[in-house]
Amino acid sequence: MAVHDDCIFCKIANHVIESDYVYEDDLVAAFRDMSPLAPTHVLVVPKDHYADLDDGVPAQTAAALLHAAEEVAKAEGITKSGFRVVSNSGADAGQAVGHLHLHVLGGRRLTDDFA
Ligand code: AMP
């Protein structure tokens, strides 16, 4: 498995460091953002390391990420009220952590220009 020793999200996704998990399957893990911008703010990450969406992500992994985002929204009870899925890739998007992740946000009216 392509896990990087110096990557915090690799460590969380593979339970080297534990976090507050919301969902997990063979390919991805979802855990709560440490600086939440909404009542629900969960990060969905692949267990293998990809820098961002432009890093040769296999279709199966991309599908697993989106599937997990929906599972998170269901578990959080925000499918009816609405939710947002965002992935920042690269400098102009303000990507701070260099391991592909989806933000799943909800639980309030999202009017701002986030994330
Ligand atoms: P981005 O700007 O899209 O790269 O977002 C990175 C996100 O990761 C930010 O919302 C941070 O609050 C979050 N974050 C960074 N380190 C951790 C961590 N160890 N556990 C949970 N969330 C984290």
Q: What's the DSSP call for residue 14? A: T
Provide the percentage of residues in the chain whose pLDDT is more than 90: 91
Residue nearest to atom 17 of ligand 1 (CA): 34
Catalytic one of 41, 99, 101, 103:
101
User: Is-catalytic flag, 101?
Assistant: yes
For the CA of 8, the closest atom of ligand 1 is 19
Give buried/exposed letters for 60-85 (b at 16+ CB in 10 A, else e): ebeebbeebbebbbeebebeeeebbb
Give the span between the Cα atoms of 14 and 26, in whole angstroms: 10
pTM: predicted TM-score of the whole model, two decimal places: 0.96
Query: 3-state DSSP: the chain helix, strand, coil percent, rounded to 5?
Result: 25, 20, 55
For 36-86, the pLDDT digits (tens) are 999 999 999 999 999 999 999 999 999 999 999 999 999 999 999 999 999
What the block records as the tokens of 76 is 């959080």
Give the bridge partners for 104, in sequence order.
42, 85
Cβ-based neighbour number of residue 5 at 10 Å = 7
Q: For position 60, what pLDDT does the model report?
A: 98
What the block records as the tokens of 86 is 């965002």
Give the bridge partners for 42, in sequence order.
32, 104
- 8-106 falls under which CATH superfamily? HIT-like (3.30.428.10)
What are the DSSP E strand ranges found in the chain?
21-24, 28-32, 40-46, 83-86, 102-106
Pocket, ligand 1, Cβ cutoff 6 A: 8, 19, 33-35, 43, 88, 94-97
